[in-house]
Amino acid sequence: MSEKIKPFQVQHESFNYDLTRLEKKVNGIYNKFLKRIIGLILALFIFVVLLPFFIAVSIAIIIDSGFPIFYRGERGGLNGRTFKIYKFRTMVKNADKIGGGTTALNDSRITKVGHILRKTKLDEFPQIFNILKGEMCFIGPRPELIRYTSQYDGAEEYILKVRPGITDISSIEFINLDEVVGSQNADEMYEKYVLKRKNHLRIKYAEKISLLLDIKLFYLTVIRTANKMLKVILKTEVKGGKGAA
- Note the pLDDT of residue 195: 94
Give me the torsion for CA of 25, 27, 28, 29, rounded to 10°: 150
- Note the pLDDT of residue 58: 97
- Note the pLDDT of residue 9: 36
User: What is the pairing mode between strands 70-76 and 82-88?
Assistant: antiparallel
- Note the pLDDT of residue 6: 37
Closest CA to 11 of 170, 188, 197, 177: 197
User: Rounded to a whole number, what is the distance in angstroms from the first to the last CA of the chain?
Assistant: 38
For the chain, which ranges sit under pLDDT 70? Answer: 1-14, 236-245
- Note the pLDDT of residue 228: 82
Q: Are 49 and 43 in contact (CB under 8 A)?
A: no
Distance CA 219, CA 121 (A): 15
Q: Which residues does residue 82 pair with via DSSP β-bridges, in sequence order?
A: 76
- Note the pLDDT of residue 100: 79
Distance CA 124, CA 129 (A): 11
How many other CB atoms are there within 10 angstroms of residue 4's CB atom?
13
- Note the pLDDT of residue 5: 35
- Note the pLDDT of residue 14: 54
Query: How far from 213 is each of 30, 49, 201, 207, 220, CA to CA, in Å?
Result: 12, 25, 13, 11, 11
Assign residue 121 a region: left if phi > 0, alpha if psi is -120 to 50, beta otherwise? left
| CB-based contacts of 42, cutoff 8 Å, min separation 6 | 138
- Note the pLDDT of residue 94: 81
Q: Which residues does residue 139 pair with via DSSP β-bridges, in sequence order?
A: 167
